[in-house]
């Protein structure tokens, strides 16, 4: 189960509302490489993990991603508070406002709503860990792009924190992949799945 901590993982205090930035940053809530997909990806994949280190890692990183989802929502919430009609129109926020007012809705910067196709859960330890490594890099690139578009230090500070976390998660998933690969047959150079490719269990060529 999960228990809520009434605290953000890293503080978010944005003094100046900015609906234009909110429309970009919401992509890390419900976009293709956002935190909603990240949490659902790892928390769904963990049941197929055959080793205790990996069950723990997917559970813990999946949980941390829920905390990042909360930070991104807090950013969007604070960027869209107390808006005037002029700010809504000039910030390009009017279409979102008509659909959702200033409610938090999972969508990409390109307006596409969140889709389950953003995540993979293949039931194979090697396949899923490779997806996770790629997902962390894609999320890191998205934070890089956001950081390029932002000047407000109140917004940059939590974005930089979140970017760093993608790098740390990538590192941990890399160690997870190494742990999994080490438990394959030492001659299993191509890291095929011994539960499917019986030849690789015997250390033969397929």
Helix, strand or coil, per DSSP, at residue 149: helix
Closest to other proteins by CB, 32 vs 78, is: 78
How many CB atoms sit inside 10 A of residue 36's CB?
21
Site for other proteins in 132-171 (CB under 8 A): 168
* Region near other proteins per CB under 8 A, out of 4-12, 89-97, 117-125, 195-203: 4-12
Q: Does 81 bind other proteins (CB under 8 A)?
A: yes
Q: Six-digit token pair at 95?
A: 């279409």
> Quick one: how far is CA 10 from the chain centroid?
16
CB of 176 vs other proteins, minimal distance in Å = 6
Q: Do residues 161 and 10 make contact, with C-beta atoms less than 8 angstroms apart?
A: yes
Render the burial of 165-192: b for 16+ CB within 10 Å, e for the rest. Answer: bbeebbeebeebbebbeeebeeebeeeb
Choice from 20, 48, 77, 185 touching other proteins (CB under 8 A): 77
Choice from 2, 3, 98, 110 touching other proteins (CB under 8 A): 3
Interface with other proteins (CB under 8 A): 3-15, 53, 56-57, 60-61, 64, 70, 73-74, 77-78, 81, 168, 172, 175-176, 179
């Amino acid at each position: 189960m999960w228990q809520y901590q009434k605290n953000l993982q890293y503080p978010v205090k944005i003094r100046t509302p900015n609906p234009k930035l909110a429309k970009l940053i919401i992509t890390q809530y419900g976009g293709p490489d956002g935190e909603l997909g990240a949490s659902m990806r790892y928390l769904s994949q963990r049941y197929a993990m055959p080793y205790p280190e990996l069950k723990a890692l997917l559970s813990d990183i999946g949980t941390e991603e829920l905390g990042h989802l909360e930070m991104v929502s807090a950013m969007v919430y604070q960027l869209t508070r107390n808006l005037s009609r002029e700010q809504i129109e000039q910030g390009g926020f009017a279409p979102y406002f008509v659909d959702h007012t200033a409610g938090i809705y999972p969508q990409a910067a390109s307006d596409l709503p969140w889709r389950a196709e953003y995540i993979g859960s293949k039931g194979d330890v090697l396949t899923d860990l490779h997806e996770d490594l790629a997902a962390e890099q894609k999320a890191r690139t998205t934070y890089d792009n956001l950081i390029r578009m932002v000047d407000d230090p109140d917004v940059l500070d939590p974005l930089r924190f979140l970017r760093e976390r993608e790098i740390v998660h990538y590192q941990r998933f890399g160690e997870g992949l190494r742990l999994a690969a080490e438990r394959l047959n030492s001659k299993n150079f191509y890291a095929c799945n011994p539960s499917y490719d019986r030849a690789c269990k015997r250390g033969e060529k397929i």
